[in-house]
């Protein structure tokens, strides 16, 4: 899934297969047409390590959302979907949060979700999800590789390499987390 706001920030890809979920994110931070940093860490563990999350968009905004999601996970332990819905409600209704420009892909052992700033909590139709400027490339590549490769990490890494070859806002410095 691509973001509606056209973030030129990064590419985050999640692949769920064979009892594992992988979230991979590139490391490029861009400001307009300038690369400010090539090795940022946009994929993190939350909820005492039980949840992995990746973000596309403004870094400070995404970190704020990570903190809020962490609070929701403390309130609703082992209930990622519930915590995500509660975060989306706040994101949609809170005057400060409404201005945040980021999208999240979050996963635990059971759920894979996309969270948007317009209040969406989406469970992808297929066991792959992507956000960010290279999302369409990564998503298409992952879907094409899904039926021919068994390892979700291999799928994610190859799909991200394709996205990095096509999207100028995506690079090959990956952070990969597995659950």
Q: Which residues are identified as catalytic?
A: 10
* Dist. CA 131–CA 153, nearest whole Å: 17
Kindly list the distances between the CA atom of residue 8 and the CA atoms of 32, 56, 70, 76, 128, in Å, as whole numbers in the listed order: 8, 8, 25, 32, 21
What would the two tokens of residue 8 be?
């030129």
* Dist. CA 39–CA 99, nearest whole Å: 26
What would the two tokens of residue 168 be?
């100028």
Beta-sheet strand order (sheet of 11-17): 128-132, 11-17, 20-25, 175-178
* Dist. CA 18–CA 154, nearest whole Å: 12
Among residues 45, 4, 48, 50, which one has the least CA distance to residue 25? 45
Which residues are 53's β-sheet partners?
Answer: 44, 106
């Amino acid at each position: 899934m691509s973001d509606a706001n056209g973030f030129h920030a990064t590419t985050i890809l999640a692949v769920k297969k064979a009892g594992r979920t992988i979230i991979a994110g590139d490391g490029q931070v861009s400001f307009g047409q300038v690369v400010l940093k090539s090795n940022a860490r946009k994929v993190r563990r939350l909820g005492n390590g039980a949840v992995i999350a990746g973000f596309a968009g403004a870094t400070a905004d995404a970190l704020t959302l990570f903190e809020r999601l962490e609070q929701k996970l403390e309130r609703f332990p082992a209930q990622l979907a519930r915590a995500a819905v509660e975060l989306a409600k706040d994101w949609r209704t809170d005057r400060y949060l409404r201005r945040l420009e980021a999208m999240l892909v979050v996963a635990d052992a059971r759920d894979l979700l996309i969270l948007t700033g317009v209040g969406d909590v989406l469970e992808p139709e297929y066991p792959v999800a992507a956000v960010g400027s290279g999302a369409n490339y990564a998503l298409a590549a992952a879907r094409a590789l899904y039926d021919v490769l068994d390892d979700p990490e291999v799928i994610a890494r190859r799909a991200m390499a394709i996205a990095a070859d096509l999207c100028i806002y995506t690079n090959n410095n990956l952070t990969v987390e597995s659950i």
